[in-house]
Structure formats: structure tokens, C-alpha cells
Amino acid sequence: MKKIKFLILLLFVLFVVQVQAQTISLVVNTWPPYVDTALADDGLAMKIVKTAFKQVGYTPEVRIQKWEKALEGSKLGVYDVVGAIWKTRERKGKLLYSNAYLTNNIILVAHVNSQMKFDSLTDLQGVLVGVLKGYEYDEKFMKDPKILKFQANRLTQNLISVQNGKLDVAVADKRLAMYELKHFMGSNSSEFQFLPKPLSSRKLYIAAPIENAGSKVLIAKFNQGLAAIKKDGTYQKILDEYTF
């Protein structure tokens, strides 16, 4: 009887260890509608990431941090995964990237009465452009000294400045712009237009510290889970849930 109890206890301990081994720390910063604890399943990006990891037996523990702290902690290996990140040359030396799981279309938002046209960066020279702090926009756009860029902490600030004529256009991720216009601008949302041509498109990834021993496995597993939910239709269902 004692042996049976011991075996049951041993199996229980092994089960707990296995479950704990499948839990990973995932860090992100608040970025609606992609990451936001106020949204269903913590936002669109987190729903995709958590669903893909769940498919292959992992349970991410989501930790919300300011972007600078999240990025630095990820590079140093404090966290297993950063859950929503763009590629840059500087980051590639510190992080392993997954396959892309979303595309961010970066657009220009103008007043509805604006006659402005955008076909190339030269069209933005001498124009008052609102950008957000901490965003890795198109490199040529950021380095062009003739484009007059004004930084804000939130897109809503830039939208109000466009509305009041203090800015000509605001640069924004399209989903973020749609979300903020709907939730924060109310009836005033009809005062804005999206210029047809995007400024750029960026792929969204998860990434893991190069120096962490388990990072290659984590990235490979995520890619496997992502492919699986795309194949069975789950991925498209998630996209359809998050309309703005």
C-alpha cells in the first residue's frame, strides 16, 4: 500500500514539474488593439500568440512592461519571449525571431478636408507629421531631415492635433488608428481620412534571447503552432473576431 501511495505521489510530482516546465514568461507592452488587458484575451496579437503556443503545449504567462524595459529584459534573457516586436538590424544581434504572425500597415491619417496626396517621401517634406515615441518607423522616413516630425506618447494626441490643424498628418498603424478613432474620438471620427498609399508595412513577430538555451526550441514550437492554427482555420477566426 505504501508503495502504491509513493508511486501516486511520484507521478503527481512529475506531472506538476512537467506542467511548470511548459509555462513560459512572455513580456509585452500595452499596444491596443494588439496588446491590452482591457480587450478579450489581452488583444489580437496576444490571442494569436497564446493560441499558437497552446497548440504545442506551452502556457505563456503574460507580463506587461513599458517597452524599453520589456525590450531590454528580453535581450538580457530575463523573459523567455517578447510577444510582439518588429525586426531591426540592432535587435537581430540579440534576439531570435519567429515566423511573422501579423502585418502592420503603417498609414497616414489626415483631416477629411485635406487635399494632401502621398506617393513618396518627397510629398512629406515640409509637412507637419505626427509620430509616436519609441516606434521603429521606416528608416528613410525617420532619417529624412526635411520631414518635420513631432513626437507624442499616444496616437490620440496626434489625431487631435490633426483635427485642430496643428499637424498635417499623423503616422499610425492602421488597426491602432481604427481602434482609437472608434473608442476615443467618437462622432469626431468622421473628420479623418486614411490616405490610400501606406507609408510602409512591417511584419510582427515573437522573439527570444539568443543566449537562452531554450530559445531555438521555443521559436520552433511557436512556428509549428502558428502553422497549425493557420491550417485548421483558427487563425482566420481570430482575425475575424477583432474588427474595429
In angstroms, rounded to a whole number, what is the distance separating the alpha carbons of residues 85 and 100? 10
Q: 20: which 3 cell numbers?
A: 511548470
Q: Name the pTM for this structure.
A: 0.86
pLDDT value of position 61 = 94
Q: What is the pLDDT of residue 152?
A: 97
Closest Cα partner for 109 from 178, 10, 59, 166? 178
pLDDT digits (tens, 9 = 90+) for 139-154: 899 999 999 999 999 9
- Contact at 8 Å (CB) between 38 and 75? no
**Whole-number mean pLDDT of the chain?**
90
CB-CB neighbours of 121 under 10 Å: 14
| Type of residue found at 73 | G
pLDDT of residue 73: 83
Tell me: the pLDDT tens digits for 175-195? 999 999 999 998 999 999 999
* Structural domains of the chain, with CATH: 2-101+202-241 (3.40.190.10), 103-200 (3.40.190.10)
Which DSSP symbol is given to 31?
B
Q: CA nearest 26: which of 71, 63, 72? A: 63
What was the pLDDT predicted at 26? 96
pLDDT at residue number 189: 94
- pLDDT < 70: residue spans in the chain: 1-21
